[in-house]
Copies of this chain bind each other. A is one copy, B any other.
């Protein structure tokens, strides 16, 4: 967002006759850290906000609607706040790569070809709660050992589908009742699957569900999958990719084209207008971690590339 402010400010000052409006956007709730929904701000901007997300509760039972009201805003006005497609020529987003590719290729900037699709699910395993001392191993219907087997199957399925083409992650898990001396009767965990094509992801999820059912049958437990979020693979606009490559070339830099394994607001904005993304090299591919780092030098190059891109984009519109 800061890069956008700097770049837009420079373009406006350096091009007094510019016939292009520039909005710099700061989106909230991209990650879905608090609610089960993700990308809600950009969905509102793009006019594709799903009102059912307003009812999603956080861990304390506060819904998204409650949180918006507590912030002094009215959820009923979300739909009317969207951009109109006729008013928007394009969307560009700069982001750290969050992966190891640019560092490995010794390039400061990359051009995103598309954003992987992803499916998020809540998985619930039901066994039978029991006393940890008196129920023999052979008579147990332990929801946690069942979940462990399912989680390892998920990992194996993602690996077999190719490390560069698909990833699957279990990031949250809770065992109930959650006491040291009680066999868990219920386990819930999150499952997130991302892939470079929608077919690949859907096929893998079918395999995961079939394998999990096999585990459940063998252990006399139950397993259910509840998908709550799905985004399809999003292609970035080819003409904007070319403009971005030229803009980076203007700086005398080489670059590369690459997919994004992470989800971004650009995938939502692509439903409103042509969209593009500029990736900035980061250290060690580390992200979602306090050690996440991009150098000030690379960030400066990204701002310069954004400036050249906007100028080229404006010229192309004229």
Contacts and interface: CB of A to CB of B under 8 A. Distances in A.
Contacts of A134: 97-100, 260-262, 285, 287
A10 to B, nearest CB: 30
Given A133-B98, A262-B131, A263-B133, A180 B32 contact: yes
A152 interface: yes
Nearest to A145: B155
Contacts of A175: 170-173
A309 to B, nearest CB: 23
Interface of A: 31-33, 36, 38, 97-100, 116, 118, 120, 128-139, 142, 144-145, 147-149, 151-152, 155, 158-159, 163-164, 166-175, 178-185, 190, 192, 194, 260-263, 285-289
Given A100-B134, A130-B288, A145-B152, 17 more contacts: A32-B180, A98-B131, A116-B133, A130-B285, A130-B287, A131-B288, A133-B167, A134-B261, A134-B287, A137-B159, A138-B159, A139-B163, A145-B170, A169-B180, A171-B178, A173-B175, A181-B263
B171 A173 contact: no
Given A137-B158, A137-B163, A163-B138, A132 B194 contact: yes
A137 to B, nearest CB: 5
Contact of A132 (B132, B180, B184, B192): B192
A179 B138 contact: no
How many copies of the chain does the oligomer comprise? Answer: 2
A142 B182 CA distance: 26
16 contacts: A32-B181, A99-B135, A128-B289, A130-B287, A130-B288, A134-B261, A134-B287, A137-B166, A137-B168, A138-B159, A144-B173, A145-B170, A152-B152, A171-B181, A171-B182, A183-B288
A181 B152 contact: no
Given A155-B142, A155-B145, A262-B131, A171 B167 contact: no
A143 B60 CA distance: 26
A180 B133 contact: no
Contact of A31 (B144, B172, B179): B179
A144 to B, nearest CB: 6
Contact of A182 (B131, B151, B181, B288): B288
Nearest to A262: B133
